[in-house]
Structure 1
Amino acid sequence: MIATARRLARDGFPVMPHFPARLIADKVMLEDWIARYRGEAGVDRALLLAGGRSAPAGAFQSSMQMMETGLFDKYGFTRLHVAGHPEGNRDIDPDGSTANVDAAIRWKQQFAERSDAEMAIVTQFAFEARPVLDWIAGLREAGVHLPVHVGIAGPAKLQTLIRFAIACGVGSSLKVLQRRAVDVTKLMLPYEPADVLSDFARAASRDETPAIAQVHFFPLGGIRACAEWAARHVVSERGQIAAGGRPSPSAASGR
């Protein structure tokens, strides 16, 4: 991972490695990762996640515990992104509520207020705009004003997306894919995110979600396919997806 980060940085890309808390054994291991990314690859940003395993490998259960160590500040990490869960997360709230994820996002807002790091929320990928827009409105009412990078699944086979959606707990938006799967004429066609991006763009044009800072592509169908699709499309001011031009700012996450 460090070698890859070094190569990408050398090619001119800003690199944001993932730090999955439940895969990191202890503070010594975390500091080793941070120090090597900084010293060997020049990395100064990170995406902090709990990680997908049910039981932690060691000392860290959550991204908040990693942030509390102060190690990212010690090594000059100036940008920290944290996870957002518009549809909840069963790993964090097994009872199906959003109590723990809501408390966590409020804590992250408070951390941002006492930290010098530039912070943003990166959401899980979604196939439907409305649940995400409602979730962001709830954040603002709760006093959480971190900019939101909306997760979008890049073009991929429908079967691939359904498999990832089930594994990642994207419950409400999964219904969109299930409805599509019922239509035999669409079943074999690759999914493209034009419709959901248009919905977000129209909302942004009405100032409904001014804190949406970027689209964060999850290239579940492959990085090349996602990058080529993004390069062919742009979100117009009227909220339509138009062919040609440059893509709006995005961050691709290589899962």
Structure 2
Amino acid sequence: MTSAADRDPPAGATEAQFEVIPLKGITDRVEGHLPPGARVTVTASPAQGLAATIAVAGELAAAGFTAIPHLAARQIRDRHEATDLLEQLAAAGVHEVFVIAGDATRPAGDYTGSLGLLEDLAAAAPGITLGMGAHPEGHPFVDEQEAIRLVRAKAEHASYLVTQMCFEAPPLLQWVRSLREAGITLPIRPGIAAPVGTARLLRIGAKVGVGRSLRMLSGRGSGMRRLVGPGEWDPDALLAELARGQEESGLALAGPHVYTFNDLEAVARWRAAA
């Protein structure tokens, strides 16, 4: 079987992509603060529902952005609904999705995790670009060996991988090396938190559980100084470390996945300063 990892890297692999939450007015804010044609992913949650994700993705695509809706497996009933969603998205000019398991306490139907949904989407639309998520600092429900096995199985269908939020380069780079040693060659987008206020980042980080990087906040390392020094997280030093790591043969890091928390004004200021 030919895996997605054996294909050419997806279009735009070197560009950053920006994650937004489908709240009222977000499309106007994206248009006002992100560059034309930018890659923008749209989250899915039980609170907002998939309908909001699909609607915003369609609006962004109509505005000329590369819209990438998150499809949460545990919110989708079955293969029929998954195929229906693909048809809706294709009609709206959306040809890429990001597949996650999702936070719903109980699955809506057949899918308990993202692997089954990835398999069905790849079979239903062989030309579609599929992103997948992964946890460099440990998955909350599976051990390390099982996590690698799942990544390998999902990589048969996905085009690239996005990590959870990371705040330190060494754990992320070591995890990438372990994937490469396991023969998993997908482009990897490191998940980077946009520059936001410390209190907001800590509140969100605690909810999403970003692993060892979050625990550095109670220590005295350089990461903590970056985070609490001026009262605002600055990702530039982390991105510089990752850029140096990118020079290492075989790592194949793609452009970052920027968690914006919908603070697009801060993202625009950061981009302008850079």
Same fold (TM over 0.5): yes
Q: Which has the higher contact order (CA 8 A, sep 6+)?
A: 2
Counterpart residue number, 2:108: 57
> Any conservation in 2 of the 1:158–1:187 contact (CA below 8 Å)?
no
Counterpart residue number, 2:81: 29
Deviation at 1:56, TM superposition (A): 1.7
TM-score by length of 1: 0.77
The number of aligned residues is 219
Following superposition, which runs of at least 4 residues in structure 1 exceed 4 angstroms of deviation? 180-183
* Structure 2 unmatched ranges of 5 or more: 1-52
Aligned-partner Cα distance in 2 for 1:78–1:221: 27
Aligned-partner Cα distance in 2 for 1:227–1:48: 27
> Any conservation in 1 of the 2:180–2:250 contact (CA below 8 Å)?
no
Aligned-partner Cα distance in 2 for 1:195–1:187: 13
Q: Is 1:193 equivalent to 2:220 in the alignment? A: no
> Any conservation in 2 of the 1:22–1:50 contact (CA below 8 Å)?
yes
Q: 1:169 to 1:99 in 2, by over 3 A?
A: farther
Q: Is 1:161 equivalent to 2:201 in the alignment? A: yes
* Structure 1 unmatched ranges of 5 or more: 113-118, 234-255
Aligned-partner Cα distance in 1 for 2:133–2:63: 27
Aligned-partner Cα distance in 2 for 1:231–1:162: 25
Counterpart residue number, 1:240: none
Q: 1:53 to 1:98 in 2, by over 3 A?
A: farther
**Greater shift after overlay, 223-232 or 98-107?**
223-232
Counterpart residue number, 2:270: 229
Q: Within 5 Å, which residues of 2 pair with 1:145-160?
A: 145-160=185-200
Aligned-partner Cα distance in 2 for 1:64–1:137: 23
Deviation at 1:232, TM superposition (A): 2.4
> Any conservation in 2 of the 1:16–1:46 contact (CA below 8 Å)?
yes
Q: Is 1:219 equivalent to 2:233 in the alignment? A: no
SS of the residue 1:17 aligns to: strand
> Any conservation in 2 of the 1:89–1:169 contact (CA below 8 Å)?
no
Q: 1:73 to 1:225 in 2, by over 3 A?
A: farther
**Greater shift after overlay, 196-205 or 71-80?**
71-80
- The aligned amino acid for 2:87 is A
- The aligned amino acid for 2:59 is R
Deviation at 1:187, TM superposition (A): 6.0
> Any conservation in 2 of the 1:48–1:63 contact (CA below 8 Å)?
yes
Deviation at 1:202, TM superposition (A): 1.7
Counterpart residue number, 2:164: 124
> Any conservation in 2 of the 1:155–1:221 contact (CA below 8 Å)?
no
Aligned-partner Cα distance in 2 for 1:219–1:106: 28
- The aligned amino acid for 1:108 is K
Q: 1:73 to 1:226 in 2, by over 3 A?
A: farther
